């Protein structure tokens, strides 16, 4: 039984050897010409302003969390769509309840002003 895993082990060794050898070769043979421009942080082509330790508004984190929550909830629609025919009416009702709960949450956040950026 363990003999079936030997090709996978060989492939893993080859891949790791290739990756490590590429890193070592590029470190030995690559050019090392650091300049101020190469070492500066890149922010979408705009010159960075301020410090990296700048504080963000709590509103930023709230909107990011809402995006992640609603994005993850949409992911649950894909498995449901795959097995939709086998679930029949029960699956349709369950998904309708799920979407209604999502819409209620969405309306609540909208009413509270969670989507308004000041």
**Which domain CATH number covers 112?**
1.20.58.1610
> Is 76 contained in some domain?
yes
> Is 67 contained in some domain?
yes
> Is 60 contained in some domain?
yes
Q: Which of 107, 14, 96 is nearest to 66 (CA)?
A: 107
Tens of pLDDT along 80-90?
889 988 999 99
How many domains, in total, are found in the chain? Answer: 1
Highest mean pLDDT among 2-6, 15-19, 99-103: 15-19
Which positions ≥6 away from 76 have C-beta within 8 Å? 98
Domain that holds residue 86: 55-118
Q: How deeply is 109 buried, as exposed, middle or buried, from its count of CB atoms within 10 A (0-12, 13-18, 19+)?
A: middle
> Is 38 contained in some domain?
no
Higher pLDDT, 8 or 45: 8
> Is 37 contained in some domain?
no
Tens of pLDDT along 46-73?
777 777 787 878 888 888 888 888 888 8
> Is 40 contained in some domain?
no
């Amino acid at each position: 039984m363990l003999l079936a895993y030997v090709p996978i082990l060989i492939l893993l060794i080859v891949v790791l050897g290739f990756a490590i050898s590429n890193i070592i070769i590029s470190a030995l043979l690559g050019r090392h010409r650091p300049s101020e421009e190469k070492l500066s942080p890149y922010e979408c082509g705009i010159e960075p302003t301020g410090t990296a330790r700048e504080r963000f508004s709590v509103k930023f984190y709230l909107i990011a969390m809402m995006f992640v929550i609603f994005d993850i909830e949409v992911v649950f629609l894909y498995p449901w769509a795959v097995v939709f025919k086998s679930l029949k009416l029960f699956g349709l009702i369950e998904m309708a309840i799920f979407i209604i709960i999502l819409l209620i949450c969405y309306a609540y956040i909208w009413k509270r002003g969670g989507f308004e950026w000041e």
